[in-house]
């Protein structure tokens, strides 16, 4: 039985590696949405898709249903669970990466650090030693066994095509969806952070069909996350943009391995070379250098100030 269980990362990606799920979570954080009609109207989702995602998110312990009374009727609202609340730095890191690397027509919201008052960006740090900034090159990712890639459980639904995504300034995640919204994309990227470079090595490590692997590698090359070094056997290397995705990768790995249990030996271990300790990611303010907290930051858009990322059960 346990041999069939996906790795912690695989389970986490099944839970949150979906465009609509990420957008529902993001709106719960940014706008404190809790009610069906609010997500439906804000995201323009069909009721059946929304109902399906909410059901999955309750089953996956990301949302907790809470009854409330309205006009004499009992209805249900949905609050973030403790597990879901811990996704806040991942969402902020996604914002930071998209802002830096993905050209767009509409401006992104800006992040304000309340303590120093700056409109700022974030820096990735190592919670083991406190140092920041930390980049992919300052760390080493190792696997205990190849089973980290055991994420091949069938998805519950097809992944949503990116063109369907709302295009308002808050729905700022287009390229992240390409990278996180598909289980193979994410494990291929994870394998790249492990140091894999050759087509045959990706294939052997991941057990992925050659056609799937070549389509993903092509997509990553087009996104500018990987670059192919031509030759008889091309090498695929992470570009600066791909290396920049390390923060998102690290927050996914950290969250996954704290909240999900995979088969023995299936975890990834990320080490911070400077301190030799486990790399536990945290975010600090790019302006004042202080660690950020969930309730100590908020976003502002062109026309509104959003509350702190504080919606909790
Ligand atoms: Zn460290
Ligand atoms: Zn600050």
Q: Indicate whether 313 belongs to any domain.
A: no
- Residue 160 has a pLDDT of 47
pLDDT exceeds cutoff 60 at 305: yes
Q: How confident is the model at residue 5 (pLDDT cuts 50, 70, 90)?
A: confident
Q: How confident is the model at residue 303 (pLDDT cuts 50, 70, 90)?
A: confident
- Residue 180 has a pLDDT of 78
Ligand 1 centroid from CA 136, angstroms: 12
pLDDT exceeds cutoff 60 at 155: no
pLDDT tens-digit readout, 167-178:
566 765 667 777
- Give residue 197's domain range: 2-308
Q: How much is the average pLDDT of 182-203?
A: 87
Ligand 1 centroid from CA 248, angstroms: 17
pLDDT tens-digit readout, 80-132:
999 999 999 999 999 999 889 987 766 788 999 999 999 999 999 999 999 99
**Of the candidate ranges 5-14, 159-168, 303-312, the one whose mean pLDDT is the lowest:** 159-168
Ligand 1 centroid from CA 126, angstroms: 5
Among 46, 88, 7, 106, residue whose Cα is nearest residue 306: 88
pLDDT above 70 as % of the chain: 87
Mean pLDDT for all residues in the chain: 87
Q: Indicate whether 302 belongs to any domain.
A: yes
Which ligand has the nearest atom to the CA of 280? 1
Ligand 1 centroid from CA 96, angstroms: 21
Q: Indicate whether 171 belongs to any domain.
A: yes
pLDDT exceeds cutoff 60 at 162: no
Ligand 2 centroid from CA 103, angstroms: 25
Which ligand has the nearest atom to the CA of 111? 2
Q: How much is the average pLDDT of 241-263?
A: 94
**Of the candidate ranges 73-77, 126-130, 235-239, 306-310, the one whose mean pLDDT is the lowest:** 306-310
**Of the candidate ranges 198-212, 246-260, 272-286, 287-301, the one whose mean pLDDT is the lowest:** 198-212
Q: Indicate whether 33 belongs to any domain.
A: yes
Q: How much is the average pLDDT of 63-67?
A: 97
Ligand 1 centroid from CA 254, angstroms: 14
Q: Indicate whether 303 belongs to any domain.
A: yes
Ligand 1 centroid from CA 253, angstroms: 16
Which ligand has the nearest atom to the CA of 270? 1
Ligand 1 centroid from CA 243, angstroms: 18
Which ligand has the nearest atom to the CA of 291? 2
Ligand 2 centroid from CA 288, angstroms: 4
pLDDT tens-digit readout, 27-36:
999 899 999 9
Which ligand has the nearest atom to the CA of 289? 2
**Of the candidate ranges 59-63, 74-78, 306-310, the one whose mean pLDDT is the lowest:** 306-310
- Residue 147 has a pLDDT of 62
Q: Indicate whether 98 belongs to any domain.
A: yes
In three-state form (DSSP H/G/I as H, E/B as E, the rest C), the secondary structure along the chain is: CHHHCCCHHHHHHHHHCCHHHHHHHHHHHHCCCCEHHHHHHHHCCCHHHHHHHHHHHHHCCCEEEEEEEECCEEEEEEEECHHHHCCHHHHHHHHHHHHHHCCCCCCCCEEEECCCCCEECEEEEECCCCCCCCCHHHEEEEECCHHHHCCCCCCCCCCCCHHHCCCCCCCCCHHHHHHHCCHHHHHHHHHHHCCCCEHHHHHHHHCCCHHHHHHHHHHHHHHCCEEEECCCCCEEEECHHHHHCHHHHHHHHHHHHHHCCCCCCCCEEEEECCCCCECCEEEEECCCCCECCHHHEEEECCCCEEEECCCCC
Q: How many domains does the chain have?
A: 1
Which ligand has the nearest atom to the CA of 116? 2
Ligand 1 centroid from CA 269, angstroms: 13
pLDDT tens-digit readout, 214-224:
999 998 999 99
Ligand 2 centroid from CA 298, angstroms: 12
């Amino acid at each position: 039985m346990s041999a069939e269980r996906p790795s912690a990362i695989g389970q986490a990606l099944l839970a949150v590696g979906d465009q609509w799920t990420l957008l529902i979570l993001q709106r719960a954080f940014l706008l404190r949405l809790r009610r069906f009609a609010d997500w439906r109207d804000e995201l323009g989702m069909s009721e059946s898709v929304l109902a399906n995602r909410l059901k999955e998110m309750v089953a996956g312990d990301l949302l907790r249903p809470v009854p409330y009374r309205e006009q004499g009727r009992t209805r249900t609202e949905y609050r973030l669970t403790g597990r879901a609340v811990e996704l806040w730095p991942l969402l902020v890191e996604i914002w930071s990466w998209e802002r830096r690397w993905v050209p767009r027509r509409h401006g992104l919201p800006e992040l304000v650090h309340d303590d120093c008052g700056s409109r700022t960006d974030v820096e990735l740090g190592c919670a083991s030693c406190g140092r920041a900034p930390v980049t992919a090159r300052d760390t080493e990712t190792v696997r205990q066994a190849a089973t980290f890639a055991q994420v091949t459980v069938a998805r519950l639904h097809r992944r949503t095509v990116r063109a369907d995504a709302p295009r308002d300034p808050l729905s700022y995640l287009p390229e992240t969806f390409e990278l996180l919204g598909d289980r193979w994309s994410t494990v291929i990227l994870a394998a790249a952070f492990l140091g894999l470079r050759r087509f045959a090595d990706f294939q052997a490590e991941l057990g992925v069909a050659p056609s799937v692997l070549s389509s993903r590698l092509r997509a990553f090359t087009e996104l500018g996350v990987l670059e192919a070094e031509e030759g008889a056997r091309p090498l695929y290397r992470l570009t600066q943009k791909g290396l920049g995705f390390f923060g998102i990768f690290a927050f996914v790995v950290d969250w996954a391995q704290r909240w999900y249990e995979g088969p023995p030996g299936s975890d990834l271990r990320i080490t911070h070379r400077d301190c030799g300790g486990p790399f536990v990611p945290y975010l600090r303010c790019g302006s004042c250098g202080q660690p950020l907290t969930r309730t100590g930051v908020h976003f502002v858009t062109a026309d509104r100030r959003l509350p702190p990322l504080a919606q909790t059960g």
